[in-house]
Structure 1
Amino acid sequence: MELRYGSANEQMRQALARISPGTPLRDGIDRVVRAKAGALLVLDDGPDVLSICSGGFLVDAPFSPQRLSELAKMDGAIIISGDGGRIARANVHLVPDPTVPTSETGTRHRTAERVARSLDVPVVSASEEMGVINVYAGGGKRQLQEIGRLLERANQALQTLERYKVRLDDAMAKLTAVEVEDVATLRDVAAVVQRGEMVHRIADEIETMIVELGVDARLLRLQLDELYGEIDDELELVVQDYVADDRTPSETLEIMSRLTDEETHDLRKAAEALHRLEEDDDLTISVAPRGLRLLHRTKRLSSDSALAIAGHFNGLSKLQRATLTDLSEVAGIDDATAAEVRETLARVTESAILDQYN
């Protein structure tokens, strides 16, 4: 399963993957914490990192958990190569830009955050007394949690995801029903986009937990894949059916991803993301789908052919009335494909109407 997420979140996940349980680096960090020693690790040895290093000494030796725990007994930072295969330097004094803002109070954590923010490299800090491990990457911070607690949180998040997915499925089913009857409103579409974004955010957080858990997350991965499935693809087709011509589905989904959690509860925000809502409009205005989402339920139909059919008929209502001859007039659509499209649309229409009244 592939989730859509921003570059900053991706950088954090890449950093978490490098120090997840089962990796040599995590083994080394755990050794440091058990020994009640602190550590400041920069997971990159590029020129920008070396330019802020002062003192210390060159190690240039293959990485091993044992070496890391021994070198952490000294006060300075440890520089590890970008691929994690070598320890480049140790006992280094880092001199990051002091004007970079930081919310940390401890010296080690303040330095870690400033280095990560100013150079855009992943940095890990482990406190000496509390054994707290913080990861700084992509402009953000994440404190590693005890495995059992993180598993508990992830399972609770999965239960929440399941409930929200039921609500999304209900909204999607309602949208299909009003589409086939040609009575869809902007509210119906906005409800699907809104609930889709909420489901995505929960799944996105679970995905980060899975990355952080590493080898301990095999069952969680199976459960998330089972629940989340092809939701992103389905949601993109909904957006593609209704988004205004001057906006792409990816732009709409990007706008939704930038909303605050509170703003996602506002249906007007979802309608605005589709570029379908003027200042004086309300959500009861009628809208008509292009029909792409329902066309994609035809197994033999490619995405290009679905686009060609939707463009030819310019709306689901006209497409539903199309005969086999009408469909065969679309470039690239043979008689067999035309028949399958007609059967699929008829089946979806019948199923949607039955579901609505049952």
Structure 2
Amino acid sequence: MTDEFLSKLKLIAPGTPIRQGVDDILNAHGGALIVFAEDYKKHPLTFQVGFHLNEDFSPQRLYELAKMDGAIVLNDEGEKILAANTHLIPDPSIPSEETGTRHRSAERIARQFNKLVIAISRRRKTITVYYGSEKHVIGDVISLMNKVNQALNTYEKYRQSFDKLLLQLDIAELEGSVTLREVCEILERAALAMKIEEEARRYLIELGTEGRLSKLTLDEMSEGVEDTVNLLILDYYNGDPDECDPETVRERLKNLPEKELLGFLSVARALNYDVSSSQQLGDVTVESHGFRILRRDSKIPMNIVTNVVRAFGTLERISQASLDQLKKVEGIGETRAAAIRRTIEMKKRQNAVQG
């Protein structure tokens, strides 16, 4: 489902005026065909209008007009009812897998004009949404809430695993004992979590106001994950970090099939490592550039962090730098240099205690 289609689904999510009107029609055992096409007058052969309206949208008006035959035409934002009792004659050569007349017309109109079309089935008691070549049957609120809760539970498990592995990485980084396999495992957990988050947010769009509490829960659980992943990618990218676009790599990881993620090999290749087998990953030792610790723990602005990494190259060299050496970096004064030293020393003490 494309982002554009998801944005269209927001128009008919629970809590919106359009959804109220659609639910009223469905609950009254009615059917309807609703087309969002404010330029319908440009296509008189396709849109043979019974009568023009140009009235403000209201759920009650939609409900009453659905009692008549023909489609109801709204503007693209769903704020105006433009026409009703409209006979649709789409291009018959456009392929359609639908069997019912209403749904077949809806699919063809959506494909022909790249418009949003809603088909409400009296017999099936379903709401089907078409947009361009995409189609989606709206689920009932209870089923969607069950899917969201399942997704939240799964996300929580991945997030807990991700956080645990990050703590282990903090220890290994300053000891200089990080392997490529460990980095790939962390990014694999993050990618799986982001996949689940994306799925949950699709359900939440359909739920509208019914999913507001679940949305707050997901927002809280997912806070900081994408930023942390971006910093991890910069830390362990095999090459000049200036040539790495972490957001592009992150999206690539998120879009990898789950089977490829679990093998870690595709994760390593996304970080620009030339590896031919998963067995190699545990033998390759890697060094952090220091982005994550400087940005997350020392709270230094990202542009200044970049300057520090350019000056020293790796976290190990940063940890060995004196205050005077740090202050030679553009943007690093006495306060920030001291903050970097405190962060490094604190991490070392924590590692010693945990060790």
Structures share fold, TM-score greater than 0.5: yes
What's the offset of the Cα at 1:175? 2.3
What's the offset of the Cα at 1:111? 3.1
| 8 Å contact from structure 1 (residues 53, 92) kept in 2 | no
For 1:1-358, list aligned pairs within 5 A.
9-46=2-39, 50=43, 53-57=46-50, 58-98=52-92, 100-137=94-131, 139-244=133-238, 245=240, 246-279=243-276, 282-284=280-282, 285-352=284-351, 354-355=353-354, 357=355
Matched residue of 1:91: which SS? strand
Matched residue of 1:142: which SS? strand
Matched residue of 2:330: which SS? coil
CA 1:86–1:234 in structure 2 vs 1: closer, same or farther (change >3 Å)? same
CA 1:237–1:98 in structure 2 vs 1: closer, same or farther (change >3 Å)? farther
CA deviation string 1:110-149 (max 9, x = no partner): 3333433443332222112111112234753332222222
Alignment partners' CA distance in 2, 1:51 and 1:350: 76
Q: Which residue identity is paired with 2:281?
A: L
Would you say how many aligned residue pairs link Structure 1 and Structure 2? 349
Q: Which residue identity is paired with 2:300?
A: L
CA 1:283–1:21 in structure 2 vs 1: closer, same or farther (change >3 Å)? same
| 8 Å contact from structure 2 (residues 41, 47) kept in 1 | no
Alignment partners' CA distance in 2, 1:99 and 1:181: 67
1:3: which partner in 2?
A: none
Q: Which residue identity is paired with 1:71?
A: L
Alignment partners' CA distance in 2, 1:47 and 1:56: 9
What's the offset of the Cα at 1:105? 3.4
Alignment partners' CA distance in 2, 1:110 and 1:129: 15
| 8 Å contact from structure 1 (residues 103, 110) kept in 2 | yes
CA 1:52–1:226 in structure 2 vs 1: closer, same or farther (change >3 Å)? farther
For structure 2, which runs of at least 5 residues remain unmatched after alignment?
Answer: none
Alignment partners' CA distance in 2, 1:262 and 1:351: 36
| 8 Å contact from structure 1 (residues 15, 135) kept in 2 | no
Using the aligned pairs only, state the percent identity. Answer: 33
What's the offset of the Cα at 1:81? 0.9
CA 1:139–1:217 in structure 2 vs 1: closer, same or farther (change >3 Å)? same
Alignment partners' CA distance in 2, 1:222 and 1:136: 29
Alignment partners' CA distance in 2, 1:216 and 1:133: 17
Matched residue of 2:300: which SS? coil
Alignment partners' CA distance in 2, 1:186 and 1:161: 24
What's the offset of the Cα at 1:338? 0.1
The 10-residue stretch of structure 1 (327-336 or 221-230) with the greater mean CA deviation from structure 2: 221-230
CA 1:261–1:56 in structure 2 vs 1: closer, same or farther (change >3 Å)? farther
| 8 Å contact from structure 1 (residues 36, 128) kept in 2 | yes
CA deviation string 1:72-118 (max 9, x = no partner): 22332222112221011223333445555544333333333343344
Q: Which residue identity is paired with 1:235?
A: V
For structure 1, which runs of at least 5 residues remain unmatched after alignment?
Answer: 1-7
After TM superposition, the score normalised by the length of structure 2 is 0.89
CA 1:298–1:264 in structure 2 vs 1: closer, same or farther (change >3 Å)? closer
Q: Which residue identity is paired with 1:307?
A: T
The 10-residue stretch of structure 1 (111-120 or 161-170) with the greater mean CA deviation from structure 2: 111-120
The 10-residue stretch of structure 1 (245-254 or 121-130) with the greater mean CA deviation from structure 2: 245-254
| 8 Å contact from structure 2 (residues 191, 253) kept in 1 | yes
Q: Which residue identity is paired with 1:120?
A: N
Q: Which residue identity is paired with 2:22?
A: I
Matched residue of 1:41: which SS? strand
RMSD (Å), alpha carbons: 2.4
Matched residue of 2:129: which SS? strand
What's the offset of the Cα at 1:313? 0.4
What's the offset of the Cα at 1:297? 2.2
CA 1:98–1:287 in structure 2 vs 1: closer, same or farther (change >3 Å)? farther
| 8 Å contact from structure 2 (residues 265, 277) kept in 1 | no
1:4: which partner in 2?
A: none
What's the offset of the Cα at 1:348? 2.7
Alignment partners' CA distance in 2, 1:108 and 1:38: 9
Matched residue of 1:271: which SS? helix
